[in-house]
Structure 1
């Protein structure tokens, strides 16, 4: 499950809350991708077919300083995967580079499909897109002065449409979330925190029937779980979807780059031990009706709880 922390992320009773945790200095915030990785294949498909729903910017917003900070972070953490040489950004694991004017060049024959994908988009977006293909994370830029998200490079959204979120405030972003009082009431304070010098991370999780990382609502079925699904089949089509979110601050600009690392694993394979199953069981059991409805878990909560209870006892149902 990568960086996902079950003990920090799963609370009982379940609450929609910020859940921020301080990051120790030097803790990696980015995850480099290799040719053939699932994240790379899905991101490339989105950028090739729906780039205007993944790459978005508020009119007049200058994303340059934040993107430069993100590129510096990438090189500092993973110099073998990403490097800046002058104004040119090199994704070494993919074998492609993009210069400051958007010119694309192949450096090694590692992942040939990335080049046509980059060439097909507007030159101003090509360096950002290269970063998006080189790392598993999606990215957003949060501005403290306006408390708004003015830039998005999100290929793998979790059941939300990036094109409907660009330019919204932190509070507006979370307005549709069930039981959102803790999130929205603390929004101004949270924005100040994540754009300060201290770095933070948080975790999000759910159980879903959707198997792909890319979960844009326009490309999903109208119902999350089939209406005629039998109780015994729920777990067989259940997926454990998590996000690790971190913040890279630009204190001098009053901004932060928000990183989102999404992972999807079959639920049967996602829980390392009976203790982990018990944590998920207790948190799921304590969800309010509003949260269950928001996450479309109302009708599958009971069979999921029954399976989790058995796993928590060390059984393998």
Structure 2
């Protein structure tokens, strides 16, 4: 596994004509809030706003990043905990139904006479054979190593999203039951699996008010109609994988990034589009994370966007600046943004 591949960067949305374009800081404030809106809300991206999964011309790079992550150590990026067969089947069915509805040219799924399923991806040329409970039985056309561990693992490699599943018990407690996170933004699947919403988010600066309503938020995720929300931060590269633990052979400082150099400025908005799809009959919800990058060198050419970004950074608390890795570079970033 070459270091060059591990450090390879994704292209920004400016490189594509058809990529969805989001700017979730039009308020000009950095805010820690649920910010959930109805799924399918018009955000000026046409059909893409109606899709759970967003596939674009960057697909091959995103898949390669997942393949490299899995090859490094699958358990570093994929974890399950008390993930029941019923929930796993319901999540697989939901994902397959959405993929085939949203991209009939890319995916198809056929039911066999014995109630088994055959799912085919024209993007990866892989055929997944599932039993009547939507469990993975066999794969054709795949040279993936290590072999797929489950249907969730296999489906995650057909898309550009990371996936998490949160579950709820009869008494109202909740836990992270599955996570496939090959594009981590400085957090770890192994550290979060099995924990409840409040514990998972405890390190987030400014989360205290939200965490006091953690159970109510999880209930909303599971019981309400599908929703979408956005999160954002700043990075000095466009590498998808920023796991807190560096791969073997790469120094932590090189791997971590977030080193803004005013002499050679590189700055990007790292934007996450997150879709929450509740399955109340299974006491669970699917939570998808789609990562995009926007070049701040392009953003700052737009006076409105530049002022919003400047104001949002300016509004960050000292604790948020530390959490987002901007404490040391805030002043130089703001100065650079002002230079048009």
TMscore range, shorter length: 0.7 to 0.9
Q: 1:204 aligns with which of 186, 211, 231?
A: 231
Find the counterpart in structure 2 of residue 54 from structure 1: 77
Distance 1:176 1:75, change over 3 A: same
Distance 1:230 1:264, change over 3 A: closer
Contact 2:270–2:293 (CA<8 Å) still a contact in 1?
yes
TM-score, with length taken from structure 2: 0.79
Find the counterpart in structure 2 of residue 232 from structure 1: 263
* Cα distance in 2 for residues equivalent to 1:179 and 1:85: 47
* 3-state SS, counterpart of residue 202 of structure 1: strand
- Which has the higher mean CA deviation after the structures are superposed, 149-158 or 257-266? 257-266
Distance 1:34 1:133, change over 3 A: farther
* Cα distance in 1 for residues equivalent to 2:40 and 2:159: 21
The 5 A counterparts of 1:228-307 are 231-233=262-264, 236-270=265-299, 273-307=302-336
* Cα distance in 2 for residues equivalent to 1:60 and 1:35: 31
* Cα distance in 1 for residues equivalent to 2:237 and 2:68: 17
* 3-state SS, counterpart of residue 117 of structure 1: coil
Find the counterpart in structure 2 of residue 109 from structure 1: none
* 3-state SS, counterpart of residue 237 of structure 1: coil
Q: 1:16 aligns with which of 15, 32, 35?
A: 32
Q: Does 2:245 align with 1:218?
A: yes
CA shift for structure 1 position 166: 0.6
Find the counterpart in structure 1 of residue 44 from structure 2: none
The C-alpha deviation readout for 1:32-61, integer Å capped at 9, x for no partner, is 366862211111111222211122100453
Contact 1:3–1:244 (CA<8 Å) still a contact in 2?
no
Find the counterpart in structure 1 of residue 107 from structure 2: 82
* Cα distance in 2 for residues equivalent to 1:238 and 1:191: 34
Unaligned runs of 5+ in 1: 107-114
* Cα distance in 2 for residues equivalent to 1:139 and 1:77: 17
Calculate the aligned-residue CA RMSD, in Å. 2.3
* 3-state SS, counterpart of residue 218 of structure 1: coil
**Number of corresponding residues:** 295
Unaligned runs of 5+ in 2: 1-12, 14-18, 42-48, 112-116, 131-135
* Cα distance in 1 for residues equivalent to 2:28 and 2:299: 19
* Cα distance in 2 for residues equivalent to 1:293 and 1:82: 43
Contact 2:176–2:195 (CA<8 Å) still a contact in 1?
yes
Find the counterpart in structure 2 of residue 153 from structure 1: 180
* Cα distance in 2 for residues equivalent to 1:36 and 1:84: 20
